[in-house]
Amino acid sequence: MPEEDCIYFGDTLHMPYGEKSKEQLLEFSKQAFSYFESRGVKAVVMACNTTSATVYDTLKNDYTFKLYPIIQSVTEILANLNVKKIGVFATPATINSHAYKNGINAVNKKMSVVEIPAPEWVKIVENGTARSDFAQQELRAGMEKMMKLSPEKIVLGCTHFPFLLSELGNFVPAPMFINPAKSFAEFIKRDLEKSDAFHDKQIRGREEFFVSSEPEKFIQTAQMFYPVKSAELLDFDAVEVLS
């Protein structure tokens, strides 16, 4: 959806979210959502699996914009795959919520869902250390646990995990893995079109990037997934005074 105007916020100050309590995640999410509402956005994408799993149901009716949580948006698609057993790698918070399992089984009770937490994988991606001995041991340990459960497909249930595909592909064939991001983006586009909120202008939309700490480090890290040229530090205290 290149025509849409997009505001991106990365909470670099408080990452990784997978280790935080629900109370902390609620606080962080409310700050971000209040800022988005002050900017008059029509929709907010919860690209973070952890917040989708833990705080979406609590906050979903508190704002004027449409809220798209990644897990709840893609579990119906996963539930309709032609497989009997599906595996999920995610952060401990996401796994403990059983959001993928509950969402899939709400649509397809016959599909078996097995879940494995991968607490170190986010840090491995952020630090760019996927080929280190420690990372290889962590990836191998996770894959060994997963493959003992014999899934037919494996969901990479954290936005960071697809950046480990080249390494994970050394353990099982890459087509076994599912990156929910593409299905998520397609779901959002279809829903915006259905509600007549899709921006189909013929010029590329504006892009703004904000983070809660170390914007220069974010720009460097972001090159893994997008050509971010600039990012601003977002001070929520200042935003609250202005709003």
3 dihedral zone (left: phi>0; alpha: psi -120 to 50; beta): alpha
Q: How many CB atoms lie within 10 A of CB 10?
A: 21
Q: How many CB atoms lie within 10 A of CB 216?
A: 11
Catalytic residue among 25, 48, 53, 156: 48
Q: Using the structure block, give the residue that is written with the tokens 């894959």.
A: 143
Q: Which of 29, 10, 46 is nearest to 184 (CA)?
A: 46
**Could you confirm whether 6 is annotated as catalytic?**
no
Catalytic residue among 113, 135, 158, 231: 158
Quick one: which H or E segment has residue 92? helix 92-97
Active-site positions read: 48, 158
